[in-house]
Structure 1
Amino acid sequence: MLYKFKSKTTGDVIMLQPNGQRVLDIIGKDAAGAKGIILPEQMSAAVDALEAAIAKEESEQKAAVADALARGEPAPRFEAISLRQRALPFIEMLRRCEKAGTEIVWGV
């Protein structure tokens, strides 16, 4: 399944199901629903939540690398594509739609 986020202001942002579900979970939207909407007044909080999750992931990865190196072990491997890379187009979409006052929908 794909998540196709649409708005009248921007181009579509398409994510595979696990990535789209993770983003929706982070911003507090029910990813189990096949359809949904993000209103302009919810977008600032969504951006903040995504940026906090990105910072947390990067901090945890940096700590894991430092811990492994301190123990003389090889650095752990992480997903090739980070949350930052996956979420950045969606964050940009949120910012542009908030500025324009348009909602973002998926599953419609």
Structure 2
Amino acid sequence: MLITFKSHAAQDLIMMKDLAMTLLGIIGKRLGERGVITVEELPTAIHKLEAAVADAKAHPASSAVEADTGNDEDEEEPLHLGQRAYPFLDMLRASQREGANVMWGV
């Protein structure tokens, strides 16, 4: 299932439900049918997401390392949280600059 995030400050952002649940969980939100990250919540949400990305870079997931057996040279490296969270972080930052809410399910 796809979730579309909307803000007047940025283009619509479409992501898979599992990623949306993960990113919203990091910032203390739950994925419901509809939701909003208000302008007042944006600074805290950005800080929490940036901290999670920094922590993920400092402590790479052991499952990603274990999955690399070296047998398949064409196998791509899995995306880390920073790569997956960047578009959402970009939307949050743009929304903060413009004073716009971020919504989904509308």
Question: What's the TM-score once normalised by structure 2's chain length?
Answer: 0.82
Distance, in Å, in 1 between the alignment partners of 2:67 and 2:44 is: 31
1:53-64 equivalent positions in 2, closer than 5 A: 53-61=52-60
Structure 2 equivalent of residue 50 of structure 1: 49
CA shift digits 1:44-90 (9 cap, x unpaired): 1111111111111122218x5xxxxxxxxxx5348711110111111
- Point out the structure with the larger strand share: 2
Q: CA RMSD in A?
A: 1.7
Find the partner of 2:88 among 67, 87, 90. Answer: 90
Structure 1 equivalent of residue 71 of structure 2: none
Question: What's the TM-score once normalised by structure 1's chain length?
Answer: 0.81
Aligned residues: 96
**Structure 1: which amino acid aligns with 2:99?**
G
Deviation, 1:8, is 1.2
What is the aligned-residue identity percentage?
A: 39
Deviation, 1:106, is 0.2
| Contiguous gaps of at least 5 residues in structure 1 | 65-74
- Point out the structure with the larger helix share: 1
